[in-house]
Structure 1
Amino acid sequence: MPEGHTLHRLARLHQKRFGRTPVLVSSPQGRFADGAAAVNGAVFTRADAWGKHLFHHYEGGRVVHIHLGLYGAFTEARVPMGLPVGQVRMRLVGAEYGTDLRGPTRCELIAEPEIADVVVRLGPDPLRKDADPALAWKRISKSRRTIGALLMDQSVIAGVGNVYRSELLFRHRIDPYRPGTHIGQTEFDDMWTDLVALMKVGVRRGKIIVIRPEHDHGAPAYGPGRPRTYVYRRAGEACRVCGASVRTAELEGRNLFWCPDCQV
């Protein structure tokens, strides 16, 4: 599932491509036909993101709310675009560029005030200027759930996914099974500061980059074209720092990765 930096990067791109101009909106697949018709030809005023949620704002207070989920993705092309390929939920076409959205968990038309109904369920987003880390700390410090589970809870911190979760805990040498009540204020503050910096790099580079320069060697990345990670998807391989075997387990339905020697 795309993590928060991807949605913020998309928001910036769509703002650049379509902002402040009329756009054509359609739903070749048909599942968003009414919503597309309501904003077709309207001015795309701006795009922004909160966690893993993307919002396209149109004149008149109409908003397209998008959550990519596990399989959603945008593909971009210059105008004129060819015929839609596959199940295109929404096609957005501006003066020079167009983009197709396929496979999102959610693509719906809402009114501007309804955005509050979405974000009220979300924790602070490290990539937003208005983020209040104290809200996340309050929830973590009072919870007996594991920190590994809490970091993935979007009501605690919005935008963190499995990669940032695993890598952040490794970088701060924290056992993912430690309860939130056993996380110190200084530990949390250091993690938050690091997370903000890492996610900003993700927005700028379009990739999750977590390896410190002195550790950027040895075994290749976990997948083709991916930057190296410390523990994510490296189960059974040697830790880049201490050499111990990286472990994995399922935690609340998602695979967790950690080093049993470094994270104690």
Structure 2
Amino acid sequence: MPEGHTLHRLARTHRRRFVGKPVEASSPQGRFATSAEIVDGRVLERAEAHGKHLFHHYGPDLVVHVHLGLYGKFSDVKVPVDPPRGLVRLRLVGPTHYADLRGPTTCELITDHEADAVHARLGVDPLREDADPDRAWARISRSRAPLATLLMDQTVIAGVGNVYRAEALFRLGLDPLLPGRALDRPTWDALWADLVDMLRDGVKRGKIETLRPEDDPRMLDAPDRGALCARRVYTYRRTGRPCLVCGTPIAHEKHLARNLFWCPTCQPAS
């Protein structure tokens, strides 16, 4: 599933391509046809992301809300417009580019109130200017749940997925099973700052690379197919391979039906 940097990168691209201009909207697949007719020809006023959610604002009570889920993808193509290929849920056409949305979990036209409700149920997003890390700390510092659970809880921190969870915990030397309430405030501040830095770098690069300059990427094996979004990382999908810092084989187990990766030496059990 795309992590938060992907949605913020999309929002940035859509602001550049479409905001302030009338947008042609259609649904070649047909599943969003009625809503696309309502939006068609309107000016896109604002595009924003919150965690793994994308919002296009077209004026009072006209918000297109998208969650890509596991398989969703937004293309970005220069005009002229080609005939749609595959199941295109939503097509947006601007003066210079068009974008096709395929396979999202959610693509819906909602009101401002409904959009506010989505924002309200999401946690703080390290990439948003209105992010309040104290709000996340208030949840984490009282919780018996392990950090591995809390960092993936989108009502606590929005936008962090498997890759950023694994890499942030490794870079701070934190046991994934450490209860949130056992985390001290200085370590939380460092963890938050690292998430902000990594996610901003992900927006800039369009991919996840978490290796610090002192760690040699030439020590890495070629990434497997499932790790193409994160080529230069410490633990993600590196099960059994030597830790780039200490040489210990990277461990892996299922945690709440998701894959968890860590180094038993660099991230010792507390």
- TM-score class, shorter: over 0.9
Q: Which residue of 2 aligns with 1:25?
A: 25
Q: Which residue of 2 aligns with 1:216?
A: 216
Residues of 2 paired with 1:235 and 1:123: CA distance?
30
Q: Check conservation: 2:215, 2:245, Cα contact below 8 A.
A: yes
Indicate yes or no: 2:264 matched with 1:260. Answer: yes
Q: Check conservation: 1:23, 1:42, Cα contact below 8 A.
A: yes
Q: Following TM superposition, by how much is the alpha carbon of 1:221 offset from its aligned partner in structure 2, in angstroms?
A: 4.7
Q: Which residue of 1 aligns with 2:241?
A: 237
Partner amino acid, structure 1, of 2:202 = G
Residues of 2 paired with 1:126 and 1:76: CA distance?
25
Partner amino acid, structure 2, of 1:236 = G
Partner amino acid, structure 2, of 1:127 = L
Closer, same or farther in 2 for the Cα pair 1:63/1:134, shift >3 Å? same
Q: Which residue of 2 aligns with 1:201?
A: 201
Q: Following TM superposition, by how much is the alpha carbon of 1:78 offset from its aligned partner in structure 2, in angstroms?
A: 1.4
Q: Which residue of 1 aligns with 2:119?
A: 119
Helix, strand or coil for the counterpart of 2:29? coil
Q: Following TM superposition, by how much is the alpha carbon of 1:171 offset from its aligned partner in structure 2, in angstroms?
A: 0.2
User: Deviation digits for residues 116-156 of structure 1, max 9, x if unmatched?
Assistant: 11011111100011100011111111111110011000001
The worse-fitting range, judged by mean Cα deviation, of 76-85 and 19-28 is 76-85
Moved over 6 A (4+): none
Closer, same or farther in 2 for the Cα pair 1:206/1:33, shift >3 Å? same
Relative to total residues, which structure has the larger strand share, 1 or 2? 1
User: Deviation digits for residues 26-72 of structure 1, max 9, x if unmatched?
Assistant: 01111111111110011111100111000011134411000000100
Helix, strand or coil for the counterpart of 1:22? coil
Q: CA RMSD in A?
A: 1.1
Q: Which residue of 2 aligns with 1:44?
A: 44
Residues of 2 paired with 1:248 and 1:37: CA distance?
48
Helix, strand or coil for the counterpart of 1:174? coil
Partner amino acid, structure 2, of 1:220 = D
Aligned residues: 264
TM-score when normalising by structure 1: 0.97
Q: Following TM superposition, by how much is the alpha carbon of 1:181 offset from its aligned partner in structure 2, in angstroms?
A: 1.3
Q: Following TM superposition, by how much is the alpha carbon of 1:220 offset from its aligned partner in structure 2, in angstroms?
A: 2.9
Write the mapping of 1:62-77 to structure 2, written as runs, cut at 5 A: 62-77=62-77
Q: Check conservation: 1:222, 1:229, Cα contact below 8 A.
A: no
Task: Quote the sequence identity (%).
Answer: 56
Q: Which residue of 1 aligns with 2:254?
A: 250
Write the mapping of 1:148-187 to structure 2, written as runs, cut at 5 A: 148-187=148-187
Residues of 2 paired with 1:253 and 1:144: CA distance?
19
Q: Following TM superposition, by how much is the alpha carbon of 1:20 offset from its aligned partner in structure 2, in angstroms?
A: 0.4
> Which runs of no fewer than 5 residues in structure 2 stay unpaired?
none
Helix, strand or coil for the counterpart of 2:63? strand
Indicate yes or no: 2:112 matched with 1:107. Answer: no
Q: Which residue of 1 aligns with 2:16?
A: 16
